[in-house]
Structure 1
Amino acid sequence: MALNPSRSAFSSTCKALRQCRASPAAVAGRSRPFSSSPASRSDAFEDLTWSYQQQQIQQHQQQEQQPRPRWSHTPAKMKGPGFSINIVKDPRRTIWKVNDNPELLDAMYNRLLGPNGENMLPEEVKWLAVTHKSFDQGRRGFNTRLAYFGRQVLALETTRSILVGPASSETVPADPHGREPFQHPALANIDKLSTRQPQDVIDKDKMAMLAVKLGLHNVLRWKPRLPENLEGSGLTVVLNTTIFAIIGAISLQHGAEVAQRVVRDKILKRLGA
């Protein structure tokens, strides 16, 4: 008699398991048919609303997962905690608008490099070449390394243009001790560098004026320290750096021969070299 409660509990458990193992068709046959009562209509509307919301959430997640251009946004992993420890003396100086229109950027490249100049560089590199390290704290990349390489290319080609160009009308002063320098055909053009140096041709002020004529200052991405005084913020240096970076990017993308031709035809001729 003491085991009867345990046996009844065991039989109830087995009966519940048999009901759970019943086929879906049998369960559906025992379910109540669909009713068109107001409560059922409300449930159907709620289900439709929920499915629509889920669809909108999925579309939004898919749009966020789609890769955006590197130049157009700051990577999420490079963003800070949402505040800055820098104390700004004048909040108005923190506001500075830069170009985000690809058509305006392509127009500048066409003026600098000629027709179809916009196609000489990939999209990301075109934006990288005009981005100074002061823009967005350098989180979207900047053109310092491209500028270093482009500066060497420009200096080399400028030196070569001086050596192969006509000799200057200035005469080399005679040696006060009556010494005669060593003469050789391979060294005949070296004396031209004693009267004209590459920095005289590619002067930073001349380069900045050329950049302004090409509209480079309108597409330049940088953050001036003093928005009310761009020259005092280093606009001349930033414009020179950007031109160097474009030359460096072209050299890396197409090779030294194309970069040298661009320097001769698009830079030095416009500077009057």
Structure 2
Amino acid sequence: MASRTASRPLQCVVKRVRPSCECASMRASIRQFSASRSRAEQSEADRDQRPRWSYTPEEMKAPFPWKSPDPSKVFRCNEDPDKLDRFYTNFLGRGGDTMLADEVKWLAVTHKSFDQGRRGFNDRLAFFGRRILTLQTNLALLNSPTTATRTHAGGNPSDDRIPFSHPALEGLENLSTAPVGEILTKERLGALATQVGMRDIMRWQPRMVNALERSGVDVVLTTCMYAVIGAISLHRGGAVATEVAREKILKPLGIS
């Protein structure tokens, strides 16, 4: 007779093994990593809501400063959007503060020396704007009355030959008597930019904070003036940029 225990089916008893200390610490580290990751994503979302001109991207910052800051070289630049809008209104007239997008308005007045160029700078806009302003200056000189006195060919009064003349060619002499390089100088453009208030809102880092003239402030002002023209041409078209160049820059400089 088989035993009563033999007739019973075998039952496997599974014992629950308690997690070891290593597994518990691993789970805690995973929870901590996920929490820190969520906080990092939240802070990154907060940074994305800020305008690009107002902060330096975290990816462009060094983990530690390579040079101790010098308090004597600290130069404060404008960070007030209302002050920037007042400049554009003063320079371009009514509605000038809405002619460009906010990011472009800041970019046009930001020199490459500001914040190591990490927030963008206006070199490309200035390159384009300089070409536009130079072209308009040449056209204005061609259409201006001739300042030089025309003489006979060869400069000999006794020569009876009469040089060829045409109304379309009357202004060519202005290009040699009043070259563009003597009209669009950094001193003249810098003085005009200072008059309209650009010195108070442009962003740059001078080499000597107590000697702005020796640090090249006129060059930076001229670059910003060119950049504003280039930005207007890209966002509003060539006709608007041409009108601004003639009315807001050339006319105050005496070129009409």
Which interval holds the TM-score relative to the shorter structure?
Answer: 0.7 to 0.9
Q: How far off its partner does 1:167 sit?
A: 2.1
Query: For each residue in 1:22-78, what CA deviation from the matched residue of structure 2 results, as whole angstroms up to 9, or x when unmatched?
Result: xxxxxxxxxxxxxxxxxxxxxxxxxxxxxxx99xx6995475254321101111111
Aligned residue in 1 for 2:184: 202
Q: How far off its partner does 1:196 sit?
A: 1.4
Task: Report the Cα distance in structure 1 between the residues aligned to 2:204 and 2:125, rounded to whole angstroms.
Answer: 16
Aligned residue among 142, 149, 159 for 1:171:
149
1:238 maps to 2:225: no
Aligned residue in 2 for 1:222: 204
Q: How far off its partner does 1:186 sit?
A: 3.3
Query: For each residue in 1:117-162, what CA deviation from the matched residue of structure 2 results, as whole angstroms up to 9, or x when unmatched?
Result: 0111111100000000000000110001111110110111011111
Task: Report the Cα distance in structure 2 between the residues aligned to 1:194 and 1:180, rounded to whole angstroms.
Answer: 21
Query: Tell me, what secondary structure is at the counterpart of 1:12?
Result: coil
Aligned residue in 2 for 1:81: 63
Aligned residue in 2 for 1:20: none
Identity %: 43
Larger Rg: 1
1:129 maps to 2:111: no
Indicate conservation of the 8 Å contact 2:87/2:196, yes or no. yes
Query: For each residue in 1:189-215, what CA deviation from the matched residue of structure 2 results, as whole angstroms up to 9, or x when unmatched?
Result: 212222212233323212111111111
Query: Superposed, which structure 2 residues align to 1:1-273 within 5 Å?
Result: 10-13=11-14, 61=43, 64=46, 66-84=48-66, 91-168=70-147, 170-172=148-150, 175-176=154-155, 181-273=163-255
The 1:58/1:79 distance shift into structure 2, 3 A limit, reads closer
Structure 2, unaligned runs of 5 or more: 17-34
Indicate conservation of the 8 Å contact 1:93/1:226, yes or no. no
Task: Report the Cα distance in structure 1 between the residues aligned to 2:48 and 2:105, rounded to whole angstroms.
Answer: 21
- The normalised TM-score by structure 1 is 0.73
The 1:136/1:8 distance shift into structure 2, 3 A limit, reads farther
Task: Report the Cα distance in structure 1 between the residues aligned to 2:150 and 2:53, rounded to whole angstroms.
Answer: 52
The 1:13/1:228 distance shift into structure 2, 3 A limit, reads same
Q: How far off its partner does 1:11 sit?
A: 4.2
Amino acid at match of 2:219: V
Indicate conservation of the 8 Å contact 1:147/1:243, yes or no. yes
- The normalised TM-score by structure 2 is 0.78
Query: Tell me, what secondary structure is at the counterpart of 1:200?
Result: helix
Structure 1, unaligned runs of 5 or more: 17-52
Q: How far off its partner does 1:181 sit?
A: 4.9
Indicate conservation of the 8 Å contact 1:208/1:239, yes or no. yes
Aligned residue in 2 for 1:41: none
Indicate conservation of the 8 Å contact 2:146/2:170, yes or no. no
Indicate conservation of the 8 Å contact 1:162/1:192, yes or no. yes
Tell which deviates more after alignment, 147-156 or 171-180: 171-180
Tell which deviates more after alignment, 262-271 or 99-108: 262-271
Task: Report the Cα distance in structure 1 between the residues aligned to 2:44 and 2:209, rounded to whole angstroms.
Answer: 39
Query: Tell me, what secondary structure is at the counterpart of 2:121?
Result: coil
